[in-house]
Structure formats: C-alpha cells, structure tokens
Amino acid sequence: MNYNTLKKEAKVVIVGGGFGGLYTAKGLKNSPLQVTLIDKRNFNLFQPLLYQVATGSLSPADITSPLRSILCQNKNTQVLLNAVIDIKPNDKQIIVDNHQSIPYDVLILATGVTHHYFGNDQWETFAPGLSNIEDALEIRNRVFMAFEAAEKENNPIKRQAWLTFVIVGGGPTGVELAGAIAEIANNSMKGNFRNFDPKDAKILLIEGLERVLPPYPIELSSKAEQELCNLGVTIHTKSIVTNISEDTIVVRKGEKHEQITSHTILWAAGVKASSISKILAERTGVSLDRAGRVIVEPDLSITNFPDIFVIGDLSNFSHQDNKALPGVAPVAIQQAKYVAKLIRKRLKGESLPSFIYKDYGSMAIIGQNKAVADFKFIKLSGFLAWFIWISAHIYYLIEFDNKLVVLVQWIWNYFTQGRGARLITENNKKDK
C-alpha cells in the first residue's frame, strides 16, 4: 500500500456535507490540519427520513441541520457553499463554481448519489424521484394536489386517475412511500372530502424482481408484502416499466403489457453516482461501476492517488464478501471515521489496516406499527421492528442535533394520525 507522511497544517478538502463528509470533518477536529468542507447546500440532510417530508409528516427543517452549526466548534474547519466543477489531481487542486481553485494535500470525495432513470431521463418530469429536499416537496405537492383535484372532478373515471398512485421500485424507499401514501388515504384524510372516500385511493407498487425489499431475507420480504397488502397497497412484482407519460404508465409482466392511468407516478427504482465521479475518472483513470460509483482500494483511496479518498454512497467498496457495500448511512459513517483515523496516522508517518465494514443489520419501515428489521442474529417484523426503527432514528436525531421537536411531532402524529406538514407550496407565489 502506498502512503506518505503528512506535514502538520496540511490542507484537507472534503467535498460533500452528508454523513461521509461530516463525520470525516468531525474525526479531524482538534487536529493541526486545515480542513475545508465544501457543499452546494448549507445543511446536512438526514436522508432516511426524507420520505416523511415527501408524505407530509415532517418539515424540511426537522430532518436537516445547518453544516455551520454542526461544525461550529471545529475551529480548524471552514465551510464553503460551492459546487465542485473540476479536479486537478496532479496540481492537487479542485476548481469550484466561481472558478476559484482550492489546493489540497488530501482530498475526500463524498457527494453521494441521485436517482436514475436507466436511460429514460424523459420520465423524470412525469415520475419524480426522491433524492433531496426539493424532490420531497415536489412529491408532497403532487400527492396532496391529487386528492384536491379528485375533490373537484365529477367524472368518476377521471377522478379515479387522480386517486391512483403508482410507485416504481420496491426497495426501502418505494416501500416507505407506498406505506405512507396508504396511511394518508386510510387515516389522515378521513372525512376530509365531500365528493369521494379517500379510502378509494389505489396504491400500486411496481418491482422488477420477484419480491419487494430484494436485498432482505425472503421471510422479511413476505412480511413486508403482507403488511403492505393489509394497508391496501397492490404489489406487482416481476414487472418492468416500459413507458411513462403525463398520466399513463405501461408495465410489462411476462408477455402482458398493462396500461395504468395515474396522475401521480413516483420513481424509487435506482440510483447513480453524482456527476463528480465522471470528472474524477477522466482526470485519474479510476474505474467506475455501472452506476458510476468509484471503485476504491482497500483503504478507500483510489488507484495511484493515495491522497484522494472516495467514501459513502459515491464509492464502490468490494473488498469484503466480493460485493459492493450498500448505500446506507452506517457505511458512510464508518468509512468517514476510518479515513479520519488514517489521515491522523499519516501525520505520524504510520498506516492502518484495510477498512472493514461492521454490519449491524438493516431496517425498513412500512407504516405505523409496521416495519421489518434484519439484525443478522434475529429477524423482526411488526410493532417491535417499528418501535426499534423509530427509537433508533429518534436517538440518532437527538444525539446529532438535539431535534427534540421531531420526537414531539412524532408522538403527536402517532396519536392523531395527523399530517400537519401537508401544505402545497409550488411556484404560484406571484398570482396572489
């Protein structure tokens, strides 16, 4: 392995203020290094709860924390609000959007992923994905606007098109969205309309493989399907989307093509690396996987450039069990802590053994009192899994940024089935 001794006051540049970037900066606190964290946004986003913003349970501020206040005590760290437009690995510089160049001795890239239409980018207008706060607000607007449009529509066939919700992709995000929309229809909207019963809403979940939550153990997939069915969600497995237009989605199952009329189609079917990975590949020759993620070395650096690290969802680390680690927060956090430790070692001219991911299990939420959890040594579903899911998230949020408010909001929502954050905001500010 190739490593070099870092001088004191070396410049560490971190791109991305997600879990990977933030935990790297935190891990370098009180070191003699000069750290710069660059992000296009001024906040960290708690991605696991993004679907709760998209479905009106939480507000954007509930699941975001200002980067500056998180890093306020890191006196050696400056936060810059910029987008990175180029990397010059031989000059050890990155170029940001105002064409300023920022020198580095160590560079950490942690810009994550966005959603992906597999070559059908024209579908995005009709079927938005869920990667950031604006996506979540767009989805929130569409879901609640659909119920409003249904109330105004007197033609029953047209009304049913407004009350049909199609979610493409049966991974955790798709399952969470389908479950939450079913609960909106069954509970939150009860008695809210005069022209229809919100329970008449049809929620369809489309998955290409043979079961929902494909990476989970088969018994948890079955549990999830059962609980979604109980909520009134119709699941189509082994079903491939062949076309999406303004109000129609075409699904192929075996030889059969089915056309579904719906005004609210949501995309949760795939991710690709953020665009920085392509730039990195061009400048360094590093290999990318099919989703554009950067193939990293056992120490999370890239081939021939021991001073450039790629961590979190943006990286493909396949040195453990010969398959890429999943794109989840625990991976990003453990990788960040590893890289920070490695950099500190290099200050002393020392090294570290390869990165090893410690997998504590995974969870997906389906609805109130309903979740599945795979803790390796035990598999759980139902209320207990839900309770562990919500406790873990509350614990994390409170530890991270003292978001007590979210706890109160959740307790409130639990007892009232309320969706207080269901405001439709859109771009109609001018026509008051």
Q: Which is nearer to a second copy, 29 or 341 (CB)?
A: 29
CA distance 310 to 308: 7
Q: Which is nearer to a second copy, 67 or 244 (CB)?
A: 67
* Residue 254 C-beta: closest distance to a second copy, Å: 35
**Nearest Cα to 227, choosing from 387, 364, 378?**
364
* Residue 311 C-beta: closest distance to a second copy, Å: 18
- Known active-site residue 176: yes
Asked if residues 25 and 74 have their Cβ atoms less than 8 Å apart, the reply is yes
* Residue 68 C-beta: closest distance to a second copy, Å: 4
> 138, 176, 227, 297: which one is catalytic?
176
Q: Which is nearer to a second copy, 137 or 331 (CB)?
A: 137
* Per-residue burial over 376-393, b = 16 or more CB atoms within 10 Å of its CB, e = otherwise: eeebbbbeebbebbbeeb
Binding site for a second copy (CB under 8 A): 40-43, 59-62, 64-66, 68-69, 72-73, 78-83, 98, 100, 114, 131-135, 137-138, 144-145, 148-149, 151-152, 189-195, 274-275, 401-405, 408-409, 412, 416, 418-425, 427-429, 431-432
* Residue pointed to by tokens 């003699």: 32
* Residue 354 C-beta: closest distance to a second copy, Å: 31
Q: Which is nearer to a second copy, 322 or 428 (CB)?
A: 428
Q: Which is nearer to a second copy, 232 or 420 (CB)?
A: 420
**Tokens, residue 221:** 């997939």
**Nearest Cα to 260, choosing from 252, 251, 269?**
251
Three-state secondary structure readout of 226-295: HHHHHCCEEEECCEEEEEEECCEEEEEECCEEEEEECCEEEECCCEEECCHHHHHHHHHCCCECCCCCEE
* Residue pointed to by tokens 């035990």: 378
* Residue 40 C-beta: closest distance to a second copy, Å: 7
Task: Please tell me what DSSP assigns to residue 129.
Answer: B
**Nearest Cα to 148, choosing from 204, 188, 192?**
192
Looking at the annotation, which residues are catalytic? 176
